[in-house]
């Protein structure tokens, strides 16, 4: 959901969405002072990760442009502002954006980038059950999960949410994209802003968090909304095959060859426990020409050339980040008017004035659509469980129509019983924020069921010793 705006760093605020069966307090990692970027590293392990504490579908693009081409409504938003969010002297809402930082070295550009993330866990004296990773959609950021992260942590899990490179409070560098904004050092494996790049980021993030939090042999549940769902699928497909590496390590996108860079015991670990998809997108933002008729392909090429490969893309960006335009877009993809608060508006528009935000927006719109949900689901192992939650009233990624409808997902997995599809009525494109109570309840139930399976698996491993 493309939306950016003016940055504001002060004031940590979060909504606590309901109660949880586990009443343990949640540990929230404190904001630390700004840390200086480490130098780039061109060593043999090209995808080295460093951390330092510190505070779709094709219709998606077309509908976005149609929405923003209209004059925004001037009527007042009937939803009240979030009472837990502070206001400045002039009445503007302010939210905390920066939490913790790890430094990610991406081999194709030979650069190290600052990635913002947030972690919460139950402070109950016990080792966390699962590590859970929450991945946001296009234009959003980790605060889009502010209503879900503490609830999942209270269930006994260690829950991470991160800002993808180019979004939120993470760095917004120029990457190779159609020959534009190309850094000085870049090789042929760099595809610019793409699903593959974010998959590699998530894989390296998982590896680093496992190294840091070594209190028990954790397995991961990966959850994503919209394009975050595709990234979750891509990451999960790699993790399930005990591939704890990324394509950025060698020029060839061959995970088997890259395994030599990692210790033997690390290569033998299956780290994926399950997946949660929230209104999963059918692709990044582009349309695959293979899915179109010859006439449709020609029209789509003309459309993208006019809007995305010309200065008009910057006009579109300027229009999107207006509060009135953002509010109008949210009214189309949300069904709960009370969820469209001033806090949400600020969360989604805050990164727009960061350096590089405009170029990231243009690069993503010009990017490759990437793999389809069908291709990825077919690669899952039969024992991997998938929970798919879908807001029925989503105009961008429809539940029961289009090229990649939610109703088709059960037909794309190796075993139909491994995927549970739940349609959420009166809910739109972002069910975790539009209907958080329902999503939290379904996710908590799913995680409890996975934990029972995990305990049986660990018991079997112990008996085999």
**Is 100 contained in some domain?**
yes
**Is 207 contained in some domain?**
yes
**Is 384 contained in some domain?**
yes
Longest dimension (CA), the chain: 68
What CATH number corresponds to the domain at position 437? 3.40.50.1820
Cα–Cα dist 390/123, whole Å: 32
**Torsions phi, psi for 457 (to 5 deg):** -65, -45
pLDDT for the residue 227: 97
- Could you report the per-residue pLDDT of 68-112, keeping only the tens digit for each? 444 444 333 333 333 335 555 555 688 899 999 999 998 777 889
**Is 11 contained in some domain?**
no
- Mean of the pLDDT values across residues 251-271? 48
Domain count, the chain: 1
**Is 15 contained in some domain?**
no
pLDDT for the residue 390: 99
pLDDT for the residue 109: 79
- Mean of the pLDDT values across residues 338-364? 90
pLDDT for the residue 87: 58
Higher pLDDT, residue 55 or 28: 28
Higher pLDDT, residue 329 or 313: 329
372 Cβ contact list (under 8 Å, min separation 6): 282, 283, 288, 404
Cα–Cα dist 260/267, whole Å: 9
pLDDT for the residue 249: 35
* Interaxial angle between packed helices 294-307 and 312-320, expressed in degrees from 0 to 180 and rounded to the nearest 10: 70
Q: Where are the alpha helices (DSSP H) in 6-79?
A: 58-69
pLDDT tops 80 at residue 43: no
Higher pLDDT, residue 204 or 263: 204
pLDDT tops 90 at residue 302: no
Cα–Cα dist 440/453, whole Å: 20
Instruction: Pick from 4-8, 290-294, 323-327 the range whose average pLDDT is largest.
Output: 323-327
pLDDT confidence bin for 462, thresholds 50/70/90 = low
**Is 4 contained in some domain?**
no
pLDDT for the residue 76: 36
pLDDT for the residue 298: 75
Cα–Cα dist 176/109, whole Å: 9
Among 4-8, 187-191, 421-425, the minimum mean pLDDT is found in 4-8
pLDDT for the residue 82: 35
150 Cβ contact list (under 8 Å, min separation 6): 14, 16, 17, 26, 120
**Is 3 contained in some domain?**
no
Q: Which two tokens stand for residue 332?
A: 């189309």
pLDDT confidence bin for 463, thresholds 50/70/90 = low
Higher pLDDT, residue 188 or 444: 444
Higher pLDDT, residue 142 or 263: 142
pLDDT tops 80 at residue 62: no
pLDDT for the residue 120: 97
pLDDT tops 60 at residue 248: no
- Could you report the per-residue pLDDT of 276-300, keeping only the tens digit for each? 999 999 999 766 767 777 787 677 6
**Is 12 contained in some domain?**
no
- Could you report the per-residue pLDDT of 393-448, keeping only the tens digit for each? 999 999 999 889 999 999 999 999 999 999 999 999 999 999 999 999 999 999 99
Q: For residue 119, give its domain range.
A: 26-464
Q: Which two tokens stand for residue 148?
A: 């879900």
Among 15-19, 90-94, 230-234, the minimum mean pLDDT is found in 15-19
Among the listed residues 88, 85, 89, 190, the one whose alpha carbon sits nearest the alpha carbon of residue 146: 85
pLDDT confidence bin for 464, thresholds 50/70/90 = low
């Amino acid at each position: 959901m493309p939306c950016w705006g003016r940055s504001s760093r002060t004031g940590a605020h979060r909504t606590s969405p309901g109660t949880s069966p586990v009443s343990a307090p949640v540990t929230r990692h404190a904001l630390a002072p700004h840390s200086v970027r480490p130098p780039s590293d061109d060593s043999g392990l090209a995808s080295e990760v460093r951390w330092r504490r510190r505070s779709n579908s094709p219709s998606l693009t077309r509908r976005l442009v149609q929405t923003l081409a209209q004059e925004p409504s001037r009527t007042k938003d009937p939803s009240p502002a979030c009472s837990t969010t502070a206001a400045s002297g002039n009445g503007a809402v302010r939210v905390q954006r920066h939490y913790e930082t790890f430094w990610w070295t991406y081999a194709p550009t030979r650069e190290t980038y600052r990635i913002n993330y947030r972690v919460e866990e139950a402070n109950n004296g016990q080792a966390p059950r699962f590590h859970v990773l929450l991945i946001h959609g296009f234009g959003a950021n980790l605060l889009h999960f502010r209503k879900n992260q503490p609830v999942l942590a209270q269930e006994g899990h260690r829950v991470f949410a991160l800002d993808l490179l180019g979004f939120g409070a993470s760095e917004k560098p120029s990457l190779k994209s159609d020959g534009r904004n190309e850094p000085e050092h870049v090789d042929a494996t760099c595809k610019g802003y793409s699903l593959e790049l974010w998959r590699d980021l998530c894989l390296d993030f998982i590896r680093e968090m496992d190294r840091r939090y070594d209190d028990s042999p954790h397995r991961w549940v990966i959850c994503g909304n919209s394009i975050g769902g595709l990234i979750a699928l891509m990451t999960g497909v790699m993790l399930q095959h005990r591939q704890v590496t990324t394509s950025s390590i060698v020029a060839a996108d061959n995970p088997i060859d890259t395994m030599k860079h990692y210790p033997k015991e690390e290569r033998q670990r299956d780290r994926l426990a399950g997946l949660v998809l929230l209104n999963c997108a059918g692709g990044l933002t582009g349309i695959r020409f293979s899915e179109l008729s010859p006439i449709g392909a020609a029209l789509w090429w003309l459309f993208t050339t006019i809007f995305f490969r010309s200065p008009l893309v910057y006009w579109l960006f300027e229009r999107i980040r207006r509060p009135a335009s953002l509010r109008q877009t949210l009214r189309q993809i949300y069904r709960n008017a009370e969820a469209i608060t001033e806090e949400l508006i600020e969360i989604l528009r805050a990164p727009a004035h960061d350096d590089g935000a405009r170029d990231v927006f243009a690069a993503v719109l010009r990017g490759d659509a990437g793999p389809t949900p069908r291709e990825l689901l077919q690669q899952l192992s039969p024992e991997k469980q998938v929970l798919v939650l879908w807001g029925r009233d989503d105009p961008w990624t429809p539940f029961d129509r289009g090229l990649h409808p939610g109703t088709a997902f059960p037909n794309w997995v190796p075993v139909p019983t491994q995927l549970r599809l739940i349609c959420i009525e009166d809910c739109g494109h972002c069910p975790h924020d539009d209907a958080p109570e329902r999503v939290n309840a379904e996710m908590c139930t799913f995680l409890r069921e996975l934990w029972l399976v995990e305990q049986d698996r660990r018991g079997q491993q112990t008996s085999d010793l």
